[in-house]
Amino acid sequence: MPSTLSKERRLDRDQLAGTALRIADTEGLDAVTIRRLAQAHEVTPMALYRHFADKRELLAGIADRLLADIDLPEPSEQRWDQQLQAVLTAFVDALRPHPNAAGLTLTRILVAEPGLAMAERTMELLTAGGFDPDYAAEVGRQSLCALITLVTTEPGAGEDPDPELREQAMRLKRAALGALDPKRYPLITGAADTLICPASTDRYYALGIDLIVAGIRGVRPGQDDSQGDGQGEDA
């Protein structure tokens, strides 16, 4: 059996952040502590303090790990909005598997190098679409915040990790909507299943990204209602 000292020497920040992320995925963020992480690696908590001084730093490490998973697409000859959609999709793809931890990235985008790279690329594309830098900053920030929320509020996210208990919770929610007066709430009761859990998670995310990009096109400087959504423009 490897000694505790040899285990401590093999630990590194990225490895520890990965383990902490797995704990967050399966047990929730409240379970992520220095002590819990030390138990997972069979070392003492003191062995981890040279990597993370406290839980705050540990959570920042998880966020940085998530941002490092963003696979930014290379610049192309596509329109600015099509490239922007690809960048936003890459961001969502990195966060989707980790709804419990996705919210941690919000305060690290302008700190961690991968987040800075994504933010710079997003602003480049927005300025190419006609936004001045300050407006691009506002639009980019709100768009990324909305995408983080899209992940953290995915139907079923945050539910009990036990499949049977999660399904039971879903059934109770469906029953609650099904018990509503269909004469008063005909659309809600008719779409109860979709409101509780979308038929396709891929569609859920694709629609969310489409709505954000369409909204960005709609607030471009110089746009008005008579010009449509701008999808056919090359600007």
HSE at residue 180, side-chain half, CA atoms within 13 A, is: 17
Give per-residue burial for 188-213: e unless 16+ CB within 10 Å, then b.
ebeebeeebbbeeeeebbeebbeebb
pLDDT in tens, 87-137: 999 999 999 999 999 999 999 999 999 999 999 999 999 999 999 999 999
Superfamily of domain 73-155+198-227: Tetracycline Repressor, domain 2 (1.10.357.10)
> What pLDDT digit, counting tens, does each position of 154-163 carry?
876 655 556 6
CATH of 4-67, one of 1.10.10.60, 3.40.50.720, 1.10.150.120, 1.10.357.20: 1.10.10.60
pLDDT (tens digit per residue) in 16-54: 999 999 999 999 999 999 999 999 999 999 999 889 999
Domains of the chain: which residue ranges?
A: 4-67, 73-155+198-227, 163-196
What pTM does this model have? 0.85
